[in-house]
Chain A
């Protein structure tokens, strides 16, 4: 029985060593002008707006994938050529669009994951918001 326990401990040890080896080191940003200050954590950023232009239910201008880090503020500026409903899954944000009128959607990305956004009337998926964990 003790041999089994020994092997179990070896196994756990192996997993632990591999984890420490493969895990990327956390990045910290040092404030440049205060060398004696303690390391500051990564600041949540307010990202520049993602401008989406939609025609006939398709994305003609703007990113298909928006990638941010947890805690960042995300902004979308959406214009469609027809009356539409923009729906961001997961966050369940709905923006009613009138033809030709630009609407702005801004929120803090506090849930991590991969969230598609689509136009409800056309039934088409136009892109994806990826919110990466802070790690």
Chain B
């Protein structure tokens, strides 16, 4: 049986990824760089509000609002957790997955006329992330890869325990590696509808084999990177489900229930943030000038790309650890640097969500609209199922001024949530109030640094293409 699995795995690996010839990455967002005054204003607010928060925490010791939950009326809970609704959604999820694969393999090669590109890169990778960040981890319930793999295992590979025991000391490293590969595909892979379908099929094959070899629980915890990604951002959600009852809570409050025990998961979070930051950075003139100044050996295909994709998370990780070292030195508590690093890791998530939103929501608005056309003509064959195939698209759906406001306020909101959360964690782990407050000084420098970087990235003039 193992031999059969390995053979089919090799067959899957041998699928080639043809590189299409179009010039630009998928999706255009029409965003102008943030004006200088807004960048300075944003930075100023981040600093000032951080001090207001320090003042607040200095005097206020009770933060029960953050841990409160309010139960939704039972009617809502019953509907939202109803097994039939969930079954229908699961079916739709699988159907969409199959549609994406078929439309890429057999539909038009024009990337903007095929449903799979817009659906995957815009509706799923951007839109569904925001949906789960707001409402909770629906991916863990509806993941078509999980549902299909589970089905295959139950039908053909039923056993007491999986054939391979995963050494859990490796933690989330497989997910980190797969996620980095995905980032490369996203930034440099120049997927076409056809290559996207191949990628999805290939990823499904790996997932299926992984589930067979390691078991569903291990695979979807430590290997399937979308599950880790959605799991992380979902802690920001305002809805939570407990024993089939749906509760409403303060945004990001869920992060207080997140205990991170593995450095590899911290590294995954750092990579999430670094990926968005690098995507923004590589479009700037500063990156172009940096690239131009390098000796030609760096121009070997792939070198610069991986320099950025690997270098940015490493840099962010080092800065984060430095902050923890500073904290240990300043506060002189019994906690090790590793303990501190893990305890404060959840504070990264509001910043991750804020960065992601500020950089990509305009793409969701501009390109997401095309879904209304694409549902009428998913394969790009000239159909018009719902009479929307020629619907006019509104590039001005949100003006530049509104975009800028949403960008800075989302970054600031993430910053404030992170600082707030960090204070609460400090008060949980340090024995005295004074030590907790002291520990937040290095944290403040780090957070303001992230915020200024986030705003700076948005304010940079872009290179064309």
Residues of B within 8 A of A116 (CB): 24, 28, 464-465
A75 to B55, CA, bound (A): 55
Q: Which B427-441 residues sit within 8 Å CB-CB of chain A?
A: none
B396–A111 CB distance below 8 A: yes
Q: A7-B56, A18-B41, A19-B41 are in contact. Are A127 and B395 (CB under 8 A)?
A: no
**For residue B30, which residues in chain A have a CB less than 8 angstroms away from its CB?**
89-90, 111, 113-115
Stretch touching chain A among B44-52, B122-130, B215-223: B44-52
Are A112 and B399 within 8 A (Cβ)?
yes
Complex interface: chain B residues within 8 A of A89 (CB): 28, 30, 395
Q: Is the CB of A112 within 8 A of B32?
A: yes
Q: Is the interface of A mostly helix, strand, loop or mixed?
A: mixed
Q: Which stretch in A28-36, A38-46, A117-125 binds the other chain?
A: A117-125
Q: Is B52's CB under 8 angstroms from A10's CB?
A: yes
Whether B399 and A111, one on each chain, are in contact in the complex, defined by CB atoms closer than 8 angstroms, is yes
Q: Is residue B462 within 8 Å, beta carbon to beta carbon, of the partner chain? A: yes
A123 close to B41 (CB less than 8 A)? no
Partner pick for B24 among A14, A125, A131, CB 8 A cutoff? A125
Contact yes or no, A110 B396, CB < 8 A: yes
Determine whether B23 belongs to the interface, using a CB cutoff of 8 Å to chain A: yes
Q: Is the CB of A24 within 8 A of B37?
A: yes
Instruction: Choose one: B23, B31, B49, B403; the contact of A15 (CB below 8 Å).
Output: B49
Of the candidates B32, B396, B401, B464, which one forms a contact with A64 in the assembled complex, judged by CB atoms under 8 Å apart? B464
CA–CA, A19 and B408, complex, Å: 12
B84 contacts across to A, CB distance below 8 A: none
Q: For chain A, residues 73 to 93, give those with C-beta under 8 angstroms from any C-beta of chain B.
A: 89-92
- Once A3-B59, A90-B395, A125-B464 are accepted as A-B contacts, the answer to whether A133 and B400 lie under 8 Å apart by CB is yes
Check if B37 sits within 8 Å of A113, measured CB to CB: no
Q: Which residue of A lies closest to B393 (CB)?
A: A92
Q: Residue on B with the closest CB to A10? A: B52
Chain A: interface residue total (CB-CB under 8 A): 37
Interface positions of B from 149 to 200, Cβ below 8 Å from A: none
- Taking the complex as formed, is B291 at the interface, i.e. its CB lies under 8 A from any CB of chain A? no
- Cβ-based interface call for B22 (8 A): yes
Q: Given the known inter-chain contacts A7-B55, A15-B45, A116-B464, please indicate yes or no for A124 contacting B60, CB distance below 8 A.
A: no
B40 at the interface (CB under 8 A from A): yes
Known contacts A64-B464, A131-B400, A123 near B45 by CB under 8 Å: no
Q: What residues on A are CB-neighbors of B22 within 8 Å?
A: 123
Q: Which residues of A contact B59 (CB under 8 A)?
A: 3
Residue of A nearest to B49 (CB): A11
Using CB atoms, name the residue of chain A closest to B22. Answer: A123
Q: Provide the bound-state CA to CA distance between A23 and B22, in Å.
A: 41
Q: Is B21 an interface residue (CB 8 A)?
A: yes
Contact A22 B37 (CB under 8 A): yes
Instruction: Report whether A114 and B45 are in contact in the complex, using a CB–CB cutoff of 8 Å.
Output: no
- Residue numbers in B under 8 Å from A111 (CB-CB): 30, 395-396, 399
Decide: B32 and A113 in contact? CB cutoff 8 A: yes
Annotate B251-272 by CB proximity to A: 1 below 8 A, 0 otherwise.
Answer: 0000000000000000000000
Q: Among B28, B49, B56, B400, which residue has its beta carbon within 8 angstroms of that of A14?
A: B49
Judge whether A11 and B52 touch: CB under 8 Å.
yes
A72, CB-defined interface residue at 8 Å:
no
B65 proximity list for chain A (CB < 8 A): 4
Q: Please give, as numbers and ranges, the residues of chain A lying within 8 Å of B38 by CB-CB distance.
A: 22
Distance in Å from the Cβ of B285 to the closest Cβ of chain A? 12
Interface contact B52-A132, CB-CB below 8 Å? no
Interface residues of B in 38-77 (CB under 8 A from A): 38, 40-41, 44-45, 48-49, 52-53, 55-56, 59-60, 65
8 of the cross-chain contacts (CB-CB < 8 Å) are A3-B59, A11-B49, A11-B53, A18-B44, A23-B41, A110-B396, A113-B400, A114-B33
